Structure 1
Amino acid sequence: MAVTDLWVKRDGTPSKRYGVGLRYRVSLPGHPSQAFRVKAAAKAHEAKLLTQGPTKPAAETSVGELLPKWLAGKGYLSPGAHSVVVAGAARVRDRWGGVMVDQVFSHEVQEWISGITVERDGERVPASRDTMSKTLGALRGTLDIAVTLGLIDSNPCVGVKLKRAERRDARFLSVKEVRTLAGKADGDGRPMVWLLATTGVRVGECCRLDVGDIDAKRRRLRVRKSKNGEARDVPIPASVLAMLDLSREKGSPLFASKLGKRVEVRNWRRRVFAPAAEAAGFTDLHVHDLRHTAASLMIRSGATPKDVQKALGHKSASMTLDLYAGWWDDALDGVSNRMEKLLD
Structure 2
Amino acid sequence: MASAFIVPRATKSGKRFHARWQRGYHEPQIHLGSFKTRRAAETRCDWARNEWAAGRVPDRKTILLAAEQARTVRDVVDEYIASRVDARDSSRLVYRQRLQHAIDRFGDLDPNRVTPKMVRDWTLTMRGAPRSVRSRVSAFRQLLDYVGVNPNPTRDATIKMPRHERSDPPLPGRAQIETILEEVAAHHRAPIWLMVTTGMRVSEVVALTWGDIDQTQGRLRVADSKTRAGRRWVSVDDMPLILRPRGMHASRRVFGQTADAIRSAISRVCTKHGWPSFSPHKYRHLHASRLMHDRDLSPAEVAARIGHSNVATTLGTYVQLVPPD
Same fold (TM over 0.5): yes
C-alpha distance in structure 1 between counterparts of 2:69 and 2:129, whole Å: 31
Residues 88-114 of structure 1: per-residue CA shift (max 9 Å, x gap)? 222221221112334312122123234
Q: CA deviation at 1:184?
A: 1.4
Q: CA RMSD in A?
A: 3.3
Instruction: Give 5+ residue unaligned stretches, structure 2.
Output: 1-46, 57-63
**Equivalent residues of 1:171, 1:292 under 8 A apart:** no
Aligned to 1:9: none
C-alpha distance in structure 2 between counterparts of 1:189 and 1:155, whole Å: 44
Change (3 A) 1:170 1:237: farther
**Equivalent residues of 2:218, 2:235 under 8 A apart:** yes
Q: Which one of the candidate residues 304, 310, 313 is aligned to 1:319? A: 313
**Equivalent residues of 2:72, 2:108 under 8 A apart:** yes
Q: CA deviation at 1:86?
A: 1.6
Change (3 A) 1:323 1:144: closer
Aligned to 2:210: 211
The percent of aligned pairs where both chains have the same amino acid is 24
So what's the TM-score if we normalise by structure 1? 0.66
Q: Which one of the candidate residues 150, 157, 166 is aligned to 2:154? A: 157
Change (3 A) 1:63 1:247: closer
Aligned to 1:233: 233
Aligned to 1:305: 299
Q: CA deviation at 1:206?
A: 0.9
Residue aligned with 2:221, SS: strand
- AA matched with 2:251: G
Q: CA deviation at 1:77?
A: 0.4
Q: Does 1:264 align with 2:258?
A: yes
Residues 154-188 of structure 1: per-residue CA shift (max 9 Å, x gap)? 22111233233432214212333322221112212
Give 1:1-344 correspondences, 5 Å limit.
33=51, 56=66, 60-117=70-127, 126-129=128-131, 131-146=132-147, 148=148, 154-159=151-156, 160-228=159-227, 230-238=230-238, 241-242=239-240, 245-248=242-245, 249=248, 250-255=250-255, 262-270=256-264, 272-299=265-292, 300-327=294-321
C-alpha distance in structure 2 between counterparts of 1:145 and 1:82, whole Å: 15
C-alpha distance in structure 2 between counterparts of 1:141 and 1:30, whole Å: 34
Residue-pair matches, total: 263
Instruction: Give 5+ residue unaligned stretches, structure 1.
Output: 1-28, 36-41, 47-53, 118-125, 256-261, 331-344
C-alpha distance in structure 2 between counterparts of 1:66 and 1:103, whole Å: 14
**Equivalent residues of 1:295, 1:308 under 8 A apart:** yes
C-alpha distance in structure 2 between counterparts of 1:316 and 1:153, whole Å: 36
